[in-house]
């Protein structure tokens, strides 16, 4: 089974800190994604990447950046964390199967910004 591993399950950071959320997948998937999930708002796409060093903005990229230096690793960066970035962050990678795209998600990283 493909595994998507997020480095931290829970983080607490202070306003203004730089935050790195790391995600690693072990099945050579081309595509990787970062979502955030908030009560009442569902999952919202922040950034995604088709390949190494490539990135595309999702629906809510403001305040975030990403890095994909290696195929298996996709990092989400909060340059200067703010309280409105307190959220559950979900990383996913996708498998192209039978003409459709299937996402495998990590367990999530719950970030609290104080």
Pick the closer one to another protein by CB: 42 or 69: 42
Nearest to 34 by CA among 4, 14, 3, 1: 4
Asked whether the beta carbons of 91 and 34 are under 8 A apart, the reply is: yes
User: Rounded to an integer, what distance in angstroms lies between the CA atom of residue 68 and that of residue 74?
Assistant: 5
Q: Judged by CB under 8 A, does residue 25 bind another protein?
A: no
Pick the closer one to another protein by CB: 44 or 73: 44
Q: Judged by CB under 8 A, does residue 77 bind another protein?
A: no
Question: β-pairing, 65-70 with 56-57?
Answer: unpaired
Candidate residues 66, 81, 90, 113; the one interacting with another protein per rule CB under 8 A: 90
In the structure encoding, which two tokens stand for residue 66, read together?
A: 């990403």
Neighbours of 26 (CB within 10 A): 12
Q: Judged by CB under 8 A, does residue 60 bind another protein?
A: no
Segment contacting another protein by CB under 8 A, of 13-21, 60-68, 73-81, 96-104:
96-104
Question: β-pairing, 109-113 with 10-13?
Answer: parallel
Candidate residues 8, 17, 43, 63; the one interacting with another protein per rule CB under 8 A: 43
Q: Which residues bind another protein (CB under 8 A)?
A: 4, 31, 33, 35, 40, 42-43, 45, 48, 50, 56, 58-59, 90, 92, 94, 99-108
């Amino acid at each position: 089974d493909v595994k998507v591993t997020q480095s931290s399950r829970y983080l607490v950071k202070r306003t203004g800190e730089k935050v790195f959320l790391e995600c690693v997948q072990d099945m050579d998937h081309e595509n990787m994604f970062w979502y955030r999930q908030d009560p009442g708002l569902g999952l919202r796409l922040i950034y995604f990447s088709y390949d190494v060093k490539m990135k595309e903005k999702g629906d809510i990229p403001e305040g975030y950046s990403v890095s994909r230096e290696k195929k298996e690793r996709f990092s989400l960066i909060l340059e200067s964390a703010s309280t409105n970035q307190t959220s559950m962050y979900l990383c996913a990678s996708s498998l192209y199967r039978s003409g459709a795209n299937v996402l495998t998600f990590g367990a999530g990283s719950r970030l609290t910004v104080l």
